[in-house]
Amino acid sequence: GQNIDQPTEMTATEGAIVQINCTYQTSGFNGLFWYQQHAGEAPTFLSYNVLDGLEEKGRFSSFLSRSKGYSYLLLKELQMKDSASYLCAVIYNQGGKLIFGQGTELSVKP
């Protein structure tokens, strides 16, 4: 399997910074996405990394290390509306399948 691992749940305080880690099997790796999902809705695209380094987009940043099979999503200036599930997903070479990790349920508290 592709063994995409991320923490099941995290809790953070409004205004703070939170980092959600993701590790994955490197064989066949062809890119990594981060999505946000609210219950009963489709995932919403947050970021895409295919090269090593940091991609910044407003309050959200994503980092990738291909050699380590590691990525993280960094959320700054947390807001209550950021409470959601965050999904790490990897594209693997075989037919471009997008495989998801188990998702991290983030709770932002006042």
Partner 1 sequence: GAVVSQHPSRVICKSGTSVKIECRSLDFQATTMFWYRQFPKKSLMLMATSNEGSKATYEQGVEKDKFLINHASLTLSTLTVTSAHPEDSSFYICSARRQAGYTFGSGTRLTVV
Among 3, 14, 30, 41, indicate the residue that binds partner 1 (CB under 8 A): 41
Which strand (E) or helix (H) includes residue 78? none
- In the chain, which ranges are E strands? 9-13, 18-23, 29-37, 44-49, 53-57, 60-65, 70-75, 84-92, 97-100, 104-109
The answer to whether residues 94 and 28 touch, using CB atoms and an 8 Å cutoff, is yes
Closest CB to partner 1 among residues 75, 87: 87
Q: Is 58 among the residues that bind partner 1 (CB under 8 A)?
A: no
Task: Tell me how many residues contact partner 1 (CB under 8 A).
Answer: 20
100 binds partner 1 (CB under 8 A): yes
* Residue 40 makes contact with partner 1 by CB under 8 A: yes
- 51 binds partner 1, rule: CB under 8 A: no
